[in-house]
A and B are shown apart, each in its own frame.
Chain A
């Protein structure tokens, strides 16, 4: 009997959390109109979420691109198809690795930082304090961070992919001798603006939405102790990673199927 009851309790608790998460999301949306009159808040958050992630995204993009160039060359040269290295690097990056790896890195760096920040504000009663000063803490604190995450993600993913293509070029053309003209021309012939680039951007917007939502919810919903905040931060990274990979499969099936 007891295990069944436990299962029931877990199920109900999960549904409650899901419900709270959606209510929080609606509350965050209601603050968007306020945000338009306070651009300073958005700018500060874009800096914290976007600019400060640039370093890790750029470095990772470069190395991923270079590895793709290296591995791709060795595999393709077995079929005499080295010229298609450009297509391989670009397609992998733009369709999959750009949005997904950027989102995972984002969840790890910016997502966990957001959760910790909000959790700490909850633990030190700053959110309560704002409420008692007749300021809505969700609209004032959470909404700018949400919009910043949503806007930053596609830009970061584009930077990742672009730098990755350049990294692949450096390794393939610069070090391994792939023909430069072939690298770019094959790529331009095969990579389609609508199918590949737009879809990649859509993916990164979806990932930005979900990752930022998870990060903000975990911070806002945490137990307001130091242990609670640290657990919430871990949950953000884990849940974000699972969500990203799941959604990636769903989106890829929808977008790239015939």
Chain B
């Protein structure tokens, strides 16, 4: 029969190991560190077509992730998509004439918003709007355009 003292020590070690494992999972495995920067500011942009963009998709500038898509909604009058982005507070020098474009990561990857900085002296703050946007590339439209231009070429030659 194991002595009480030894037993208590082992149980303590067991529980400590369990908590360390949970901690490890939370810190090293999950996206906790990026969630921690929860205080940031919100910026909106309007797109004609957001393609496959989802809430929590990344927002990047020069390839560096600076925030996430916080919400996506639809404007009933202008039929545009309104994307709300949560930008980390440490990135507060984004000019207000920045260009927002929807890119695709890799060939089949998920979509994200890439920001190209403009030259304005005024910076975006909480509630700011990005007015220069370009929608996502939709595969069918590209193919359609290609076929159309090919058909035109062919027709022009005659």
Point out residues on A near B: beta carbons under 8 Å: 40, 43-44, 46-47, 50-51, 54, 90, 94, 152, 154-156, 158-159, 161-163, 165, 184, 187-193, 196-197, 201
B11 within 8 A of A: yes
The stretch from B2-10, B76-84, B89-97, B147-155 touching chain A is B2-10
Q: Is A193 a contact of B30 with CB atoms below 8 Å? A: yes
Q: Which 7 A-B pairs have the closest CB atoms?
A: A155-B18, A162-B21, A158-B21, A193-B30, A159-B21, A158-B22, A51-B14
Q: How far is the CA of A229 from the CA of B114 in the complex (A)?
A: 65
Beta-carbon contacts under 8 Å, B33-62 to A = 33-35
Interface size counted on chain B using CB atoms at 8 A: 26
In this complex, what residue of A is CB-closest to B7? Answer: A47
Q: Given A40, A50, A162, which contacts B25 in the complex, CB threshold below 8 Å?
A: A162
Q: A43-B8, A47-B10 are in contact. Are A154 and B18 (CB under 8 A)?
A: yes
Q: How far is the CA of A50 from the CA of B14 in the complex (A)?
A: 7
Q: How far is the CA of A94 from the CA of B28 in the complex (A)?
A: 13
Q: Which residues of A contact B22 (CB under 8 A)?
A: 154-155, 158, 162, 197, 201
A-B contact count (CB 8 A): 88
Q: List 18 A-B contacts (CB under 8 A).
A: A43-B7, A43-B11, A44-B4, A47-B10, A50-B11, A54-B17, A94-B25, A158-B22, A159-B18, A159-B21, A161-B29, A162-B24, A165-B28, A188-B30, A191-B30, A191-B31, A193-B35, A197-B26
Distance (whole angstroms) from the CB of B21 to the closest CB of chain A: 4
Instruction: Select the residue from B8, B13, B19, B33 with max chain A CB neighbours within 10 A.
Output: B8
Q: Given B2, B8, B15, B30, which contacts A192 in the complex, CB threshold below 8 Å?
A: B30
Distance (whole angstroms) from the CB of A43 to the closest CB of chain B: 5
Q: Is B25 a contact of A189 with CB atoms below 8 Å? A: no
Q: Is A161 a contact of B31 with CB atoms below 8 Å? A: no
Q: Is B25 a contact of A197 with CB atoms below 8 Å? A: yes
In this complex, what residue of B is CB-closest to A61? Answer: B21
B138 within 8 A of A: no
Q: How far is the CA of A193 from the CA of B56 in the complex (A)?
A: 13
